[in-house]
Amino acid sequence: MEERDEKLCWCEFCLTPEIFRAMDIYPFLGEVHPPIMSLGTPDVCWKYVDIAQENGTPSDLCVLDKFMFGALLSNEMPKADFMVTASALCDSSRIGYQMFEPLTIAPSTVSMLRPTIRPKPTRTRRWKHKL
């Protein structure tokens, strides 16, 4: 699972994956895994939530983040080279990604991109170089 040619970015559901694909970065959207897992194996979801709670996650943390945190603690999520969150209505996600950072040893940043901004090719090359 960890062998790959591209960098892997955990990006939040509010960011379009095309931004990362344009820079040859594999976007990983962790928030889609809990709902998919709950359809087929709901017990696994609660196992990861329990692991997260046993390791001190706040009770008001979103269950999606608890799942991802528990899965990270269980080494069941791919390791990120870096993480990017976005401005969203869900404050819990901001906290979740801050909690994931020490577990993944991957730097985390908050994107301030507005949807109306279209990246120019020169900006994309510059971002790719920095990442």
Q: Is residue 111 part of a domain?
A: yes
> What pLDDT digit, counting tens, does each position of 100-114 carry?
777 766 666 655 444
pLDDT band (50, 70, 90) for residue 121: low
Q: Please check whether residue 63 lies inside any domain of the structure.
A: yes
Is 2 part of a structural domain of the chain?
A: no
> Greater confidence, 25 or 99?
25
Q: What is the pTM of this model?
A: 0.68
The DSSP string of the chain is ----SSEEEEE-TTS-THHHHTTTEEEE-GGGHHHHHHHH-HHHHHHHHHHHHHTT--TTS-HHHHHHHHHHHTT-SPPPSEEEEE--S-HHHHHHHHHHHHHHT--EEEE---TTPPPPHHHHHHHHHH-
Bigger pLDDT: 7 or 86? 7
Report whether pLDDT(19) > 50: yes
Give the CATH number, domain containing residue 115.
3.40.50
- Domain range for residue 26? 7-130
**Is residue 1 situated within a structural domain?**
no
**Any domain includes 107:** yes
User: What is the total count of domains within the chain?
Assistant: 1
- Does position 115 have pLDDT exceeding 50, yes or no? no
